[in-house]
Amino acid sequence: MAVPFILLGGAALAGITGAVKSVSAHTKNANAKQIVAEAQNIYDEAREMLEEQRTCTAECLKRLGVLKVDIWSKEMNDFIRTFRAFKNVRMESDVAGDERLKLKCQGTENLKNMEVAALKATEIARAGVASLGTGVLAGIASYGGAMMFASASTGTAIASLSGVAATNATLAWFGGGALTAGGLGMAGGTLVLGGIVVGPVLAAAGLIMNAKADENLASAEATAARAETAVEKMAVMTDFMKKTASIAENYSDFLVRFRSAFYPVVNEMKYMEQRTRQKQKRMLYDSDDEKIDFNSLTEAEQKKIHQAWLMAQIMCSVLSEPLLTPAGELASEAQTTLQNARNVCPAFAQGRYGF
């Protein structure tokens, strides 16, 4: 008669075991959902920080791009036109700092590049900087000479620069709309920021979203691991963009202050040309179509031209130095060039001329 009780006890034990397994499965399902939800939160927070920094960096690059166009079309254009009015200009000089000039725009042969950039900038200024998108301005800020020195026919500057920006993944990144609105377009597949390929990082959002419907604990843990990896990579990208914004601001700060010193020197050179031509006219020597011989100038006037040329080289070097490499990394020479520009003239470094 004991058998029925044994069978009953076995059935009860089986029921209890089944209930425990059911509770355990329910707990695992709940844990899986919680893990995925937490992964979604940390990913969303990191992506929001990335988007905010992208907007901030794009604005810094846009400001620098606008400033570069303005300087090329005004001070640099005036310098080039006036400098071309003189002939036989000797670059040997005892102007302070000349022997220590180790920038990238030395020699009068660089005038051609300066002229191309100034012509492009003047065309853009006439049409209005607003005719350029953020991506183009970011390109002028980021790639300097590579964007401005490329030859283009008159009237095509805006089109040619816009074409470069449209095919450059980095500029598409800074010039696009919000990431959530698909502003990155097709650039994510090729874009690298701070050594990180952007596409897979942003694609992680879809993987996390799909995992919400999966109640498997192992799958949830794998999703969380992917989210953590994406978050780490976004932190690297965000830090890269902070550094980019910082150096862009440093360049803008230098250019604003240096142009305040450069402007009066260029004006003095223009007045020198006017005075010389007026003097020649009084001597009944019509030379409007002739260049002024550098050797006919006083020593003080020659030094003024040397000073203007030295400052133009500094300005050209900073305007044309790329901040980013084509691979989407910070250019190693960007900080060095800026520091050289700050140090090349002791008078500027010591606080004169607005420094």
pLDDT digits (tens, 9 = 90+) for 120-177: 888 888 878 777 777 788 888 888 766 666 655 555 655 666 666 556 667 777 776 5
Q: How confident is the model at residue 114 (pLDDT cuts 50, 70, 90)?
A: confident
Residue 13: partners with Cβ closer than 8 Å, 6 or more residues away: none
Provide the CA 177 distance to its chain's centre, in angstroms: 17
Q: Alpha-carbon distance 355 to 222, whole Å? A: 55
Question: Residue 306 above 70 pLDDT?
Answer: yes
Question: Does pLDDT of 4 surpass 60?
Answer: no
b/e map 163-177, b = 16+ CB within 10 Å = ebbeebbbbbbbbbe
Residue 34 has pLDDT above 70, yes or no: yes
How far is residue 252's CA from residue 259's CA, in Å, rounded to a whole number? 11
Q: Is 325 helix (H, G, I), strand (E, B) or coil?
A: coil
How far is residue 165's CA from residue 181's CA, in Å, rounded to a whole number? 20
Confidence of residue 239 (pLDDT cuts 50, 70, 90): very high
Q: Phi/psi of residue 297, each to 5°?
A: -85, 160
Residues above pLDDT 90, as percent of the chain: 23
Question: Which range among 207-221, 269-283, 311-325 shows the weakest confidence by mean pLDDT?
Answer: 207-221
Q: How sure is the predictor about 109, in pLDDT bands with cuts at 50, 70 and 90?
A: low
In sequence order, which residues have a C-beta less than 8 Å from that of residue 260 and are 6 or more positions away?
A: 353, 354
Kindly state the tokens that stand for 269: 């050179």
Eight-state DSSP code of residue 72: I
Residues 335-351, mean pLDDT to the nearest whole number: 72
- Are the C-beta atoms of 222 and 279 separated by less than 8 Å? no
Per-residue pLDDT, averaged over 86-102, amounts to: 59
